[in-house]
Amino acid sequence: MTEDILEPDLPIIDPHHHLWDLRPLIAAFPEPRHDFIEAVAGAAYYTFDELHSDTHSGHKVIGTVFMECGAFYDAARADAMKPVGEVEFANGVAAQGASGQYGDYRPCAGIVGHADLTLGEAVRPVVEALIAAGNGRFKGIRHAAAWDADPDVLGPPFHAPEGLYRSDAFRAGFAAYSDYGLTFDAWLLEPQLGDLLDLAKAFPEQQIVLDHCGTPLNIASYRGKLHERFDVWRRSIHALAECPNVAVKLGGLAMAFCGLPEDGPAKGHGSEYLAALWRPYVETCIEAFGPGRAMFESNYPVDRWGASYPTLWNAFKRLAAGYSKDDKRALFAATAARVYDIEHILDRAPTDA
């Protein structure tokens, strides 16, 4: 389905996308494959060319933030240092974009990598290596904690232990990491949001970004329970919003985990349909956090499950239609620019868009 681009001059900083080559991973999984693997099978290879094509499909994407995804690790390094290779790769993409050959577009202007915070104090040299590899673009880490007692919810790609964010080992590493003044992206599932609330209260000076609206679930044993669990999710979101050090990313709802829509991948739903599906979650998050702590995200290519890149952003623009010009600027670019310290990207964009 092809749609006209809504508000084509509105500047966008996409604060959450991946770059990867998952072909070896996908080939390693026997049948039957998990819904997530099926979802990404159509995007097994997603690097600069694919990203450039999506971000130049009609919307005014002026810059992006790369999000760790376990890709391009450096096999020659010790296990703790392997994620440095991913940041080196993303920085190379950023350098390619900054060459001027692609205009003012700045892909990977911010880079979020990974470090294993269960290393405790020993995480410090890893963080310092990541900072050096990012050449000024490294902005923080994500250490995902997604876990569920039902193994069919997440499937084989994910191996976080239960209660990671509450563990003593993780908290020791988090305390060491907090000294660096960087961001922390948190990915966990709706039933786990209390773990993040406890972490945010324990470290009130650490900037935390909740990914994917807190990942409501409509998969495996949770299928068909979105309505039943909505009030539980909403209470968790409002509790997190009371922590001024937490921001939220508005997106990820097109993942197979959320099932919004259920019939992926890429069934061609229009932006009006998607906006209606996502409205209760997005409006709740904006109401709770305010535009100054909320940012729309593509989560591409994972959200290709439910929407093409131009349709995804059209849906977001429909959801933001009632907001002021300043609030839209925050939701689509300014909040991401502030949180990830890439205001120079937004400075080049017109203020009257």
- 8-34 residue pLDDT tens: 999 999 999 999 987 776 676 666 556
DSSP 4: P
Angle between helix axes 226-241 and 193-202 (nearest 10 degrees) is 0
- 188-224 residue pLDDT tens: 999 999 999 999 999 999 999 999 999 999 999 999 9
Longest dimension (CA), the chain: 52
pLDDT score of 28: 66
Residue 159: pLDDT band by 50, 70, 90 thresholds?
confident
Q: Regarding predicted confidence, which is higher, 266 or 82? A: 82
Place of tokens 């959801």: 319
Contact between 241 and 193 (Cβ < 8 Å): no
Q: Is 61 left (phi over 0), alpha (psi -120 to 50) or beta?
A: beta
Distances in Å between the Cα of 41 and the Cα atoms of 38, 46, 86, 89, 224 are 5, 11, 21, 22, 24
DSSP string, 21-71: E-HHHHHHSPSSPPHHHHHHHTTSEESHHHHHHHHTSSSEEEEEEEE--S-
- 63-87 residue pLDDT tens: 999 999 999 999 999 999 999 999 9
The yes or no reply on domain 11-347 and CATH 3.20.20.140 is yes
How far apart are alpha carbons 145 and 164 in whole angstroms?
A: 6
Mean pLDDT of all residues in 106-115? 98
pLDDT score of 41: 54
35 has pLDDT over 70: no
Q: What percent of the chain has pLDDT over 70?
A: 93
303 has pLDDT over 70: yes
Sign, CA dihedral 65-70-75-77, equals positive
Q: Regarding predicted confidence, which is higher, 236 or 350? A: 236
Q: Which positions ≥6 away from 236 have C-beta within 8 Å?
A: 190, 193, 194, 197, 214
Burial class (CB in 10 A: 0-12, 13-18, 19+), 106: buried
pLDDT score of 267: 76
Residue 129: pLDDT band by 50, 70, 90 thresholds?
very high
pLDDT score of 353: 46
Q: Regarding predicted confidence, which is higher, 348 or 154? A: 154
Residue 349: pLDDT band by 50, 70, 90 thresholds?
confident
157 has pLDDT over 60: yes
Q: Regarding predicted confidence, which is higher, 5 or 305? A: 5
- 170-189 residue pLDDT tens: 999 999 999 999 999 999 99
What is the pTM (predicted TM-score) of this model?
Answer: 0.95
Element (H, E) at 183: strand 183-186
161 has pLDDT over 80: yes
Find the range with the poorest average confidence among 50-54, 79-83, 134-138, 150-154. 150-154
Place of tokens 């990012």: 134
pLDDT score of 350: 63
One-letter amino acid for residue 71 of the chain:
A
